Structure 1
Amino acid sequence: MEYAFLLFAFVCGLTVKLIGIPPLVGYLLAGFLLNFAGYGLTDELTQIANLGITIMLFTIGLKLNIRDLSRREVWAGSVSHTVLWVGVITCVVYGVSALAASYIDGLTWQSAALVAFALSFSSTVCVVKVLEESGESKTRHGRLAIGILVMQDVFAVVFLVVATGKLPTVWALALLALFPAMPLIKKMINKSGHGELLPLTGFILALGGYHLFELVNIKGDLGALIFGIMLAQHEKASELAKSLLSFKDLFLIGFFLTIGLTALPDITMMLMALVFCLLIPIKALLFFGLFTSLRLRGRTSYLSSLVLSNYSEFGLIVGALAVSLGLLGNTWLVVIALSVSISFVITSILYRTSHSQYHRYKEKIKRFEKNRRLKEDIYPTLHNAEFLVLGMGRVGRGAFNALSKLTDVNVWGMDADRVKIKELADEGLNVICGDGEDIDLWDNLDIKDVQLVLLALPSIQDSINITRQLKNAGYTGKVAAIARYEDEVSSLLENGVDKVFNFFTEAGLGFAEESLAYAHSQR
């Protein structure tokens, strides 16, 4: 039966992708259609969904710099938003429930506050998936959004502990033994190599963290996240996260299906869910106002607010607990589930055009910026750069090193990952931290001497967007990009890229040329 569910999810995901909508919208639709057809949630599918969330939280931890959580914009932004949202939305929910009391269970002030709290979270699953698909998880706004999500996850765990009265056992202190055990765990990761043992190691660690924390009455998902954070500084953390990527995406299909299979709504519930979704702009405006008041740039505030403007799977967990405690009626859980589903669709569709939206309204958005900038938001400078490599991963670093051997060329590199840039700068390389899709960055960079921009990025959509931003900023030099598949080459050329290198073909050609040159030198 689970195979049939996944097959149907695949069909729906492929169908919506063909019309330009993200596949996760199709997965949600599949869940509701299966529910409408009379199918229910199974234990096996629930286990698949839970595994997907556990692996996802572990990979988030692997990519998270713990110092990001200590930033004022993260902790102050998340706390302030939760308090303001719950205060405002409690009044709104109570008023709406009073007006619709003849159609749906009424609410007390306490119950209304619980619904507002359940709707205060943004979806970790949706946000991370959207950021990863757009290649923006390491950008300034991406890291800010993920930091907010982690803080919200902590709020949810604290609520669950308080509401259930399920305090950690005294054995929770034994978790401190993880710190001296870290060298052994890291050595195990090193010994796992680069093959099939590496993702298996990731599974063992993620599930091990989950079950260890569950054993001492702490939410297991928090354990998976903490395990990931503790391993984030390991040299193989990025490789470990990538090895789990496909598994995580596969299991998360089960999560999207479970939302649709949770309950079958009626017209009244649908209308209530739509009313809740009309509150999403308030959520976005609150985030935007708080971020700009904390001196973040307008673009960072806008993009972070947009991607966080949805409801969360944690809302379902909070709602389910409230129902089990008799604080909410079952109908409200269905309404929350519908609201979560619809908000996923809204975020997935709106964020696809987020950069063009900002470009269109940037003058109005920038009016809310503070004159005094945060240190991290001060624009970098280029010094007489002739070649600029965007994306300092393996391919970009290889291109950077090759160009640097040309003594008469001034080569610079750029990447959105601030940690990576600091490491490269410590090596003495000419590098700057920046998001290539940021039109404000290009407007403030001196690129008049740049003859060639090399886009060493995994996403062709990112390459296309950056090419457009360069043209909008008045760049007149050449743009080169890499493609992994043949059908991506024509798309890049049609969108303004001057030269495209097929990653696999060119890598094979370069390998052959280097080998031939070496063979001749040995004669």
Structure 2
Amino acid sequence: MQDHILFSIVLLLTLTVIIVSLSRRIHVPPILNYIFVGIIVGPYGFEWIRSEGNIHFLAEFGIVFLLFSIGLEFSLSQMIAMRKQVFGLGTAQVFITTLLAFIIGEVVGLDRVTNIIVASAFALSSTAIVIKQLSEQSEIQSRHGKSAVGILIFQDIMAIPLLILIPALGTASADALANDLAIAFLKGAFVVVVMLLAGRYLLRPLFHEVASSKSSELFTLTVLTVVLTAAAFTEEMDISMTLGAFLAGMMLGETEFRHQIESDIKPFQNILLGLFFITVGMMISPMIVIENWAMIALITLGIFVVKGSVIYGMMKYGFKKEEGVALRTALSVSQVGEFGLVLITLALSYSLITGELGQLLLTSAVMSMMISAFLIKFNGRITKRIFSKTYQQNFIDIEHKIEIDTQYLKDHVILCGFGRVGQTTAKFLKTSGVPYLALDLDITRVKEAQQAGERVFYGDSSRQSILEATHIESAKILIITFSDYHSTLKIIRAVKNLRTDLPILVRTTDDSHVNDILEAGATEVVPDIFESSIMLASHLLLMIGHPPSQVLRQTREVRKNRYRFLDNFYPGEMDVSTSEQHQVIGSIIQTIPLEESAYGVGKRLRELPFKDMNITVQGIKRGSVRGDSPDDKTRLRAHDILIVAGLPEDVEKITSFIRLGR
């Protein structure tokens, strides 16, 4: 029974649920949880799963969906837009790091094949960790953020030949290694061309047809079929199935269905990624790790030193970047990533690396991923500590330029962000003769705007010193034009520390964070969804013949009472599932059917505690007739449907009272 694959999966899932539930209370990183589960159930733990075949099957299955999700995030348009960073920084980082790691491997006595694999694996970084952490810190558009993204994109491209290389090394004969490798790469090139052509001429029409059926089940089934077909195709060509999954993700990521695919696959994507890390844990022996902890620490330190030094030196001396930008990029991208784990795992499955060495390498790679989360989080503080003089001088220079160029501004508007919304706002201000200045972190956009004569400056709006340089003391209003929740809160806090009376207008994509932003100190919050709804409704009324004056009056009334209109919506299943969501969505509208035995039957509305429970009676539906805003003398009858509005918890209380009298 221990070798039965279904039993193995059930055992893994059960143990994972228990451990993840317990560890979430002490905020243990998810990767550690999964690896710990793998160690427990694996052949070096309690041996609940001993079959090598089961382990390799689970590992391959997890890797397939890991690489599919990475491929889905890959953007060809982004690669073209960032070609200087991708093919400049990215190319130099990968090849120089691989060369240095290879030389170190030769010095310590690794055999040639093992050395190639280790050097290649350690040259790659974690796209998932870096992008997620930088995005949360609002640094993805900064100079070091863009440099890091450019490097990661090229690393993803380099994964394609590496995924071809390892199976070729595993099956090639010693006498004909060069010939076998050449054939493998020709096969790989053929596979890439066929898959890209299939994605362009077959997948897009296929998904258009599937989408027209409006069946979510059929759509999800088609996605899974495409992924597994691509994986099976590359495996039949004697190439790793993971390459097929990665290419399938890249193909689907370039279609208009990308976001729907992400939404459909998300419910089980994290589970499958967890499955991959579980299989990594199965390959780790706690005894070997304990016995070789010094070696693991040395390898982990070596990863950061070698990769960090290469990236820092390359950016500072090769690409003439500032010390602070170079170091922050190096701190962000100096770990080993998911592709590195995949390459080592594949090498183990093809017996290209010994089991003990593989365990040391996997453990060191995982340790680097864990430590990197903290390095990325505190990259600014670390850089400021190391380059206190030059780093601070850079900000002083930026602040001085802003202060000098805006010294005569008064009663002006400060625009935080100069993207499409910021530029549109600036055009209105310019037409109205209102002075303004804009801050943005996109250096290319800033240079273009400055050349065109716009008063736009490079600067982080969340830094108090930058805001002071904009003469915030004489500003009329500050507008946050980009929609980033974490950045918005940081900016509001910085502004309030300088001027508590300055009005702050905030743009957000939806109304999920409106209350939090208002509590932080924003004067007004404008959700895109709310405004687009108003515009859609206005055009609708005009097209069906309503007078423009009436439409204008209605839209003014709606905007005037915006916060009331953000409340009182009929909730879906997901809207009222947790108390946290109750706080976000505000008031809801609920219908309460009255059965003959209900306590409220025969009672007048004024006899029921609606006001005490902060409930508004919207209407009463009696038969097929609905009466809105009923008089408080109205008596409720059996089979009436009472329509009320209020906070979810208050609605729940009044519903219970009307039905049971308590």
Structure 2 vs 1, CA of residues 30 and 405 (structure 1 numbering), >3 Å: closer, same or farther? Answer: farther
Partner Cα separation in structure 1 for residue 65 and residue 313 of structure 2: 33
Among candidates 41, 60, 66, match of residue 73 of structure 2: 60
Judge conservation of contact 1:54–1:207 (CA < 8 Å) in 2.
Answer: no
CA RMSD after TM alignment: 5.2
Secondary structure, aligned partner of 1:309: coil
* Offset, 1:80: 1.4
Instruction: Determine the C-alpha separation between the residues in 2 that align with 1:413 and 1:206.
Output: 45
Deviation sequence 1:66-94 (CA, Å, 0-9, x none): 33455311212221121123223543x44
Q: Partners of 1:441 and 1:328 in 2: how far apart?
A: 53
- Distance 1:468-1:278 versus aligned 2 partners, 3 A rule: farther
Inter-partner Cα distance in structure 2 for 1:220 and 1:63: 22
Match of 1:50 in 2: 63
Structure 2 residue aligned with 1:453? 479
TM-score after normalising by structure 2: 0.58
Q: 2:309 aligns with which of 285, 291, 298?
A: 285
**C-alpha separation between the residues in 2 aligned to 1:359 and 1:21?**
28
CA shift digits 1:423-464 (9 cap, x unpaired): x99xx9x99898958969958996866832326435x43434
Cα deviation for residue 168 of structure 1 reads: 5.2
Q: Secondary structure at the match of 1:498?
A: coil
User: What secondary structure, in the 3-state scheme, does the structure 1 residue paired with 2:480 have?
Assistant: strand
Alignment of 1:270-419 (within 5 A): 270-282=293-305, 283-293=307-317, 294-319=319-344, 328-361=353-386, 363=388, 366=391, 386=413, 388=415, 390=417, 408=432
Measured against aligned partners, the alpha-carbon deviations of 1:370-390 in whole angstroms (never above 9, x if no partner) come to xxxxxxxxx9xx999835364
Is 1:217–2:238 an aligned residue pair?
A: yes
Q: 1 CA distance for matches of 2:458 and 2:224?
A: 33
Give the partner amino acid of 1:156.
L
Q: Deviations over 1:166-204 (max 9, x none)?
A: 625769647645438615533444452687366555544
Question: Which of 148, 167, 182 lines up with 2:200 in the alignment?
Answer: 182
Decide whether the 8 Å contact of 1:311 with 1:340 is kept in 2. Answer: yes
Amino acid at match of 1:182: R
Q: 1:132-155, CA deviations, whole angstroms, 9 ceiling, x for partnerless residues?
A: 665666751342242242144245
Contact map agreement 2:510 2:529 (CA 8 A) in 1: no
CA distance in 2 between counterparts of 1:440 and 1:362 reads 20
1:82 equivalenced with 2:104 (yes/no): no
Residue pairs, 1:55-204, within 5 angstroms: 55-62=68-75, 65-67=78-80, 68=82, 71-88=87-104, 90-91=106-107, 93-94=108-109, 115-131=118-134, 139-154=145-160, 156-157=162-163, 159-160=165-166, 163-164=169-170, 165=172, 167=184, 173=190, 176=193, 178-179=196-197, 182-191=200-209, 192=211, 196=216, 202-204=223-225
Q: Is contact 2:41–2:48 with CA below 8 Å preserved after alignment? A: yes
Distance 1:109 1:23, change over 3 A: closer
Are 2:272 and 1:251 equivalent residues in the alignment? yes
- Sort the Cα spacing of 1:119 and 1:362 in 2 relative to 1 into closer, same or farther, 3 A: same
Distance 1:86 1:71 in 2: 22
Identity among equivalent pairs (%):
17
Question: Which SS does the other structure have where 1:157 is aligned?
Answer: helix
Cα pair distance change 1:368/1:337, threshold 3 Å: farther
The 10-residue stretch of structure 1 (284-293 or 224-233) with the greater mean CA deviation from structure 2: 224-233
Distance 2:114 2:199 in 1: 44
CA gap of 1:84–1:20, structure 2 versus 1, over 3 A, is same
User: What are structure 1's unaligned runs of at least 5 residues?
Assistant: 95-106, 370-378
Q: How far 1:63 moved relative to its partner? A: 6.5
Q: Call closer, same or farther: CA 1:186–1:417 in 2, change over 3 Å.
A: farther
SS in 2 for 1:65: helix
Contact 1:168 1:216 in 2 (8 A): no
Which fold has the larger relative contact order, with Cα–Cα distance below 8 Å and residues 6 or more apart in sequence?
Answer: 1
Question: How far did residue 332 of structure 1 move?
Answer: 0.8
Q: Does 1:23 align with 2:30?
A: yes
**Shift in alpha-carbon separation, 1:169–1:366, aligned structure 2, 3 A:** same
Counterpart position of 1:260: 281
Distance of 1:447 and 1:199 partners within structure 2: 54
Aligned-partner SS, 1:122: coil
Following the alignment from structure 1 to structure 2, what is the Cα–Cα distance between the partners of residues 441 and 186?
A: 50
Distance in 2 between residues matched to 1:291 and 1:360, nearest whole Å: 19
Query: Could you list the runs of 5+ residues in structure 2 that have no partner in the other structure?
Result: 1-7, 173-179, 395-401, 554-662
Cα–Cα, structure 1 residues 198 and 180, in superposed 2: closer, same or farther, change >3 Å? closer
Asked whether the equivalents of residues 283 and 359 of structure 2 are also in contact (C-alpha less than 8 Å), the reply is: yes
What is the DSSP-based 3-state SS (H/G/I as helix, E as strand, rest coil) of the residue aligned with 2:125? coil
Tell me if structure 2 keeps the 8 A contact 1:90–1:113: no
Paired positions, count: 487
Measured after TM superposition, the shift of residue 39 of structure 1 is 3.7
Q: What amino acid is aligned across from residue 186 of structure 1 in structure 2? A: R
How far apart, CA to CA, are the structure 2 residues paired with 1:248 and 1:418?
35
Cα deviation for residue 270 of structure 1 reads: 3.4
Secondary structure class of the residue paired with 1:452: strand
